[in-house]
Amino acid sequence: MNIPKLPANEQQRLEILKEYHLLDTDPEVDYDNITKLISTICEAPISLITILDKERNFFKAHYGISFQESPRDISFCGHAILTDDPIFIIKDARMDERFIDNPLVNSGSAVFYAGVPLINPEGYALGTLCIFDHQPRTLSDTQKDALIILAKQVVNSMELRRQNHKLESAKKQLILHNQELKKFASHVSHDLKSPLANIIALTQLLKDDVSDKVSPTSLEYLNFINDSALILKDYIDGILLHYKADKLLKAKKQDVELSALCEDIKQLLLSKTDVMHCHASETIKEINKPALTQILINLVDNGLKYNDKKERVLHISYNSIIDYHEFTVTDNGVGIAKDQQELIFQLFTSIPYKNEVKPSTGIGLSTIKNLVIKLGGDIQVSSVLGEGSAFTFTIAK
């Protein structure tokens, strides 16, 4: 008996084999069906899909025998993976010096063997699709073709499995990376908010204190500092909202008094000269309150921020339609040009405004739109330059 030689690329072959996650796995119907089919076509009592590990021949699928592996040094498949031919055939192992005194021949009555190497796209032979018989015989051309074709099908199935594992691994890495990125962005953003708030407040105090004592140029520099700090604050708020959106979606639904929610928003955002009307007194049943609150806060804040009127006026209205809750936030701000109304929902798209109104950061409305869509609704804007805007959004019931 001759022990099968190892392929020249054996170490690399074993490393590639690990990527398929086939060794020591449970039987699978797709592979079992192939062994049953090839056994029927070739009229053979035994058929196997084998995977050659370092010291054993693992049977991923086996038809006609009960055991699931055998030593590699007595395997027929160990010889089969060395061939350059499309199929490796032993008509009578009792007459072949490579298999004389082989335990599979002596005690297992393995007389006839035909195996097709399972060659992966990189050229590594991972195992075989093979058949055994207890008597000498041959295969017809049709049977040989069937064995070769089904071996290719086994390889295709294995490759699909390999790519799925790679995708799952990449997905897990991406999720982990995204979680770390969220944590980092949230941590840095929170750490920046406090000193930034101090810069904004101190700059305003300094402006008030020295407005009649410094040159117009110096006062303009202070205005630049204040404006830059406010823009940076908008970016930080937008980043925090962007990474908080997924958490908002997980909140449980509850009943909401819209008038009470409007009052909370007034206390949070409006100054003494601002006016906000809430055109709804009913209780809204079963809605995601944290998400709704964040959407309304963002739209009201925009209505105040992008507003050059002496008296800033906003309206919040609600309408219950068949499958949706519908809300509209209207302001008397600077308005949005017709050709720019779709652009405002695109991430990092900044719309320039006149009358010294600061440009948007392009984060908030993009995040709000994604949030609304994930809540099963949509958001639209209608606007007239110089007169104001109306944002209408829906949330699925």
Q: Of the candidates 170, 195, 214, which is a domain's last residue?
A: 170
Domain contains 231: no
For residue 60, is pLDDT > 90? Answer: yes
- Angstrom CA distances, 352 to 140, 235, 334, 335, stand at 78, 16, 11, 11
- Confidence (pLDDT) at 152: 97
Residue 314 CA, distance from chain mean position: 39
* Residues 50 and 194: beta-carbon distance below 8 Å: no
Give residue 196's pLDDT: 75
Give dist(CA 168, CA 162) in Å, integer: 10
Share of the chain above pLDDT 90, in %: 61
CATH, residue 35: 3.30.450.40
Q: What is the DSSP letter of 198?
A: H
Q: Is residue 53 part of a domain?
A: yes
Most confident range, picked from 104-113, 240-249, 359-368: 104-113
145, 170, 195 — which closes off a domain? 170
Asked if the structure places residue 192 within a domain, the reply is no
Question: What is the maximum alpha-carbon separation in the chain?
Answer: 112
Tell me which of 135, 170, 205 is where a domain ends.
170
CA distance 265 to 276: 9
pLDDT, tens digit, 9 for 90 and up, residues 298-345: 899 889 988 989 999 999 999 999 899 999 999 999 999 888 888 888
| 116 and 259 share one domain | no
Q: Is 264 helix (H, G, I), strand (E, B) or coil?
A: helix
- Residue 349 lies in domain: 251-397
Pairing of the two strands 283-287 and 313-320: unpaired
Q: Cα(343)–Cα(347) distance, rounded to whole angstroms?
A: 9
Kindly state whether residue 356 falls inside one of the protein's structural domains. yes
For residues 19 and 158, membership in a common domain is answered with yes
pLDDT in tens, 82-99: 999 999 999 999 999 999
Number of domains in the chain: 2
pLDDT at 153 over 80: yes
